[in-house]
Amino acid sequence: MGFSALVASALCTFLLPLLLFLAAVRLWDLYCASGRDPSCPLPLPPGTMGLPFFGETLQMVLQRRKFLQMKRRKYGFIYKTHLFGRPTVRVMGAENVRHILLGEHRLVSVQWPASVRTILGSGCLSNLHNGQHKHRKKVIMRAFSRDALQHYVPVIQEEVSACLAQWLGAGPCLLVYPEVKRLMFRIAMRILLGFQPRQAGPDSEQQLVEAFEEMIRNLFSLPIDVPFSGLYRGLRARNIIHAKIEENIRAKMARKEPESGYKDALQLLMEHTQGNGEQLNMQELKESATELLFGGHETTASAATSLIAFLGLHHDVLQKVRKELQVKGLLSGPNQEKQLDMEVLEQLKYTGCVIKETLRLSPPVPGGFRIALKTLELNGYQIPKGWNVIYSICDTHDVADLFTDKDEFNPDRFMSPSPEDSSRFSFIPFGGGLRSCVGKEFAKVLLKIFTVELARSCDWQLLNGPPTMKTGPIVYPVDNLPAKFIGFSGQI
């Protein structure tokens, strides 16, 4: 082969692909820049858009918190990126987030990534809009009224007490996070869907837990449904869950009246469709039930695991919780086993502050997705119509001026009330505005009962010390939080 042939071969092998790649990057940059609305004089936020088609999705999925912290340090509280196939602006800080959350239906509308919409389905609350969303939320909220929560308290207490008794006999090492997920899953299945997982057998329960974990791991995927892709695996796991839920729905339809004495959220949805003369849509019911299970156990499992971590690292805070329980007659003597109720739980102010501080430092859901309905102006930048907007919960907590010594675990910061205007959007673990978490009161009651039972029955040691937390998409400890549990002596 002659010299000229070698040169031509080298050009074809190396130079031509490089030139094509550089051309693709240049075209990508021009495409991203063309998204700016010329009718608005403001510039786009700073930031980068990543690789053609993929954007910065791969970096975000692989690095998560590290990627987001780097972006915040480099570009500030508002920056552009390209995630899950869409140009995106990420927003943080109380004032910026307030603008987004209070602009629902006027400036922005909810729009989760295509993979989330596909897996959870169009019939779930998160993907409904305007009147449909308002109507469905009103029905579901009946399952979280104060009277309904009162019915749930003994069920939660029973499940938590039985679980902690098992932990105390688990030996020198227990992986907390998987155990808490199983506990919260059983509670959500019983209360939200009226399903008795223990009666279905441990194999059936474990199959459902594993299917949920697989579905949630793949919620945020590239929107490519081919064998072995994240979306494909997520849909396959979702179908297993839907099959089990459909069995439960058909059993409810045959039974007519609930066995538990209270009506769960799924029962209320079924009655609503029947009462209005609407045809019962099995697919929408399955999607709504799946969403309730997702919101009702993954997020509370994350928060409860963080509670164990923080209380394990701050024994002085645990002792203050126990002192509050002692004052209320809940720590020792014959009242130790007395049933909790809503009135007693509402009196546990310091315990409530411990939960708030946990949610401030480690919010289970890192943020929410919206889409700009029109080009909007935010803090000197434009967000073009049609772009995705992510408001960050974790970053907003991190940068809030309201909190001093932000990295310190200090529940006392919530004991004194803050001015409403300054605190409303500085602390948003449940989101805000029209789309604040529908089950937030349920979550607060559940976490408070969990904290009470944990504090009055267990002492524990974190075997690996402070955990490293990861987001995927819910916040969790990388090492599953190994710990050793022993019985609490009753002495403060």
Per-residue pLDDT tens digits for 371-397: 999 999 999 999 999 999 999 999 999
Give the span between the Cα atoms of 50 and 86, in whole angstroms: 12
**Statement: residue 491 has pLDDT above 50:** yes
Per-residue pLDDT tens digits for 311-349: 999 999 999 999 999 999 998 654 455 679 999 999 999
Q: Is residue 181 part of a domain?
A: yes
Q: Is residue 24 part of a domain?
A: no
**Statement: residue 365 has pLDDT above 70:** yes
**Statement: residue 191 has pLDDT above 80:** yes
Task: List, in sequence order, the alpha helices (H) in 331-428.
Answer: 342-347, 349-361, 393-399, 420-423
pTM of the model: 0.86
Residue 274: per-residue pLDDT: 66
Q: Is residue 476 part of a domain?
A: yes
Q: What average pLDDT does the chain have? A: 85
Confidence band, pLDDT 50/70/90 cuts, at residue 270: confident
Q: Is residue 23 part of a domain?
A: no
Q: Is residue 11 part of a domain?
A: no
Helix H or strand E segment including 81:
strand 78-83
> Stretch 2-28: mean pLDDT, rounded?
58
Look at the chain and report how many structural domains it folds into.
1
Residue 421: per-residue pLDDT: 46
Share of the chain above pLDDT 70, in %: 86
Per-residue pLDDT tens digits for 86-103: 899 999 999 999 999 999
Give the residue with greater pLDDT, 135 vs 109. 109
Q: Is residue 359 part of a domain?
A: yes
**Domain CATH code at residue 178:** 1.10.630.10
Per-residue pLDDT tens digits for 403-437: 889 999 999 999 887 644 456 899 999 998 888 88
**484, 173 contact by CB (below 8 A):** yes
**477, 469 contact by CB (below 8 A):** yes
Its domain, for residue 173, covers 35-487
Spatial CA neighbour of 90 closest among 389, 395, 375, 386:
389
Given the structure tokens 């998560």, which residue do they identify?
Answer: 64
Confidence band, pLDDT 50/70/90 cuts, at residue 7: low
Residue 257: per-residue pLDDT: 64
Q: Is residue 18 part of a domain?
A: no
Give the residue with greater pLDDT, 195 vs 476. 476
Q: Which residues of 139-164 are buried (b: 16+ CB within 10 A; e: fewer)?
A: bbeebbeeebbebbbebbbebbeebb
Give the span between the Cα atoms of 78 and 93, in whole angstroms: 9
Q: Is residue 21 part of a domain?
A: no
Of the listed ranges 65-79, 111-125, 191-205, the least confidently predicted one is: 191-205
